[in-house]
Amino acid sequence: MAESVFRAHVTEAGLDGLVEVDSAGTGGWHEGDGADPRTIAVLEAAGYEQDHRARQFRASWFDRLDLVIALDAGHLRDLRALAPTPEHASKVRLLRSYDPAVAGVSTPSAPSAPSAHSARSAPSAPSCAETDVPDPYYGSLDGFEECLELVEAASPGLLEAVREAALAAVESATP
């Protein structure tokens, strides 16, 4: 869901030539499966396209990624533990940390270049309930709609951070 929503934001902003949007899970239990039918229904009702096949995140991907977005504290912990270096671990951020409505969370910037990264933390960390996008899988359709609302609320802040990093990378590459 987050991939579909953010891809639409990137395309609408005209950054699809600069920014690659992809998703993977921290576990392989659904590998090869398409999106949950409830996810598809909620995305289609909101006008988003999706063409997702589940796969598991690999530590080797960190070298080619500038930013890795986790949807909850458990995934954040798992992804950072999977990172081969502290620099790779600092690429992992919570999606809702880009949501301006989340109290106590300052919007982190995206990494400014593929090489140097710094981890950012809020001075007063909000509870997981405030920073997590809850997994709606075992609930009703309402949970999927709530998930979409949370993803949509954080996407503009994430887009702004990614836009700044992408444009800075283009400027530094231009002679």
Cβ neighbour number for residue 117 with a 10 Å cutoff: 19
Q: How many domains does the chain have?
A: 1
pLDDT digits (tens, 9 = 90+) for 138-167: 999 999 999 999 999 999 999 999 999 998
Cβ–Cβ < 8 Å for 96, 108: no
Mean pLDDT for the chain overall? 87
| CATH code at position 129 | 3.40.50.2300
pLDDT in tens, 71-89: 999 999 999 999 999 999 9
Question: In the prediction, which pLDDT does 130 show?
Answer: 85
| Cα-Cα end-to-end distance for the chain | 38
pLDDT for the residue numbered 116: 31
| Residue 127 confidence class, pLDDT cut points 50, 70, 90 | low
**In the prediction, which pLDDT does 108 show?**
65
Measuring CA to CA, which residue among 55, 61, 43, 49 is closest to residue 16?
49
Rounded distance between C-alpha atoms, residue 175 and residue 171, angstroms: 8
Question: Does the structure show a pLDDT above 80 at 103?
Answer: no
Q: Are 166 and 19 in contact (CB under 8 A)?
A: yes
Q: Which of 111, 113, 108, 112 is nearest to 94 (CA)?
A: 108
Residue 8 pLDDT greater than 70, yes or no = yes
Query: In terms of residue numbers, what domain contains 168?
Result: 2-173
Q: Give the pLDDT score at 123.
A: 35
For residue 112, what pLDDT band results from cuts at 50, 70 and 90? Answer: very low
Helix axes 2-12, 141-173, angle to 10 degrees: 40
Please check the confidence at residue 59 and state whether its pLDDT lies above 50: yes
